[in-house]
Amino acid sequence: MYDDAMIGSQTPRLIRRVFLVLLAASGAVGADEPPAVQSGTWQKHQYSFVSLGFTSTYSCDGLADKLKRLLLAAGARADAKALPGACASEFGHVEKLARAELAFYTLVPNEGAKTPDGPRVDGVWRSVALAANSPRELGVGDCELVEQFRAQLLPMFTIRSVADQTTCVPHQESGSVINLKFETFAAAPAHPAASRP
């Protein structure tokens, strides 16, 4: 029989054991293992994007550049195209409603009943965090653009574990925060060629 005194003296030891078991189960052990590779197929998307921001306005070419960076950060194939749309002003001039024409590919896992057609590609789940200066060209003034990107373009990607704490204050940068995190299914990094002796 155990009495209260015996149980009380073993409590710190028991807590420590439970903590170690939970730590091992959480994946801290073996965290350096490479992510699992899955087969995927590229899926093509074309989209006409119109910027509707209040805080920042863009030239059509400037909007296209920002969107291309966001597409690549989210896992689009490297040949993503973002071209200035039909705009009233000349190259480099700010538009009230800037437009961009997008053509890009996203990777879709080859699983489930319907497998997409096309060549198979190795894919992995990777973490993405969009914030001010991540990617480097993204600023707090781009907050509303990130909101539009999340609503209109991100659903075209295969994503999971979305955590969106982005807050945009119209007509001012003060108080706005870009904080969008998710995991995206993207092409596995190319392995460098084996070095020759």
Tens of pLDDT along 137-160? 999 999 999 999 999 999 999 999
Cα–Cα dist 99/96, whole Å: 10
22: Cβ contacts below 8 Å, ≥ 6 apart? none
Q: Say which amino acid occupies 57.
A: T
93: Cβ contacts below 8 Å, ≥ 6 apart? 59
Token readout for 127 is 């973490």
Cα–Cα dist 103/38, whole Å: 24
Q: Is the pLDDT of residue 47 over 60?
A: yes
pLDDT digit string (tens) for 78-122?
999 999 988 766 666 677 889 999 999 999 999 854 555 678 999
Secondary element (H or E) of residue 74: none
pTM (predicted TM-score): 0.76
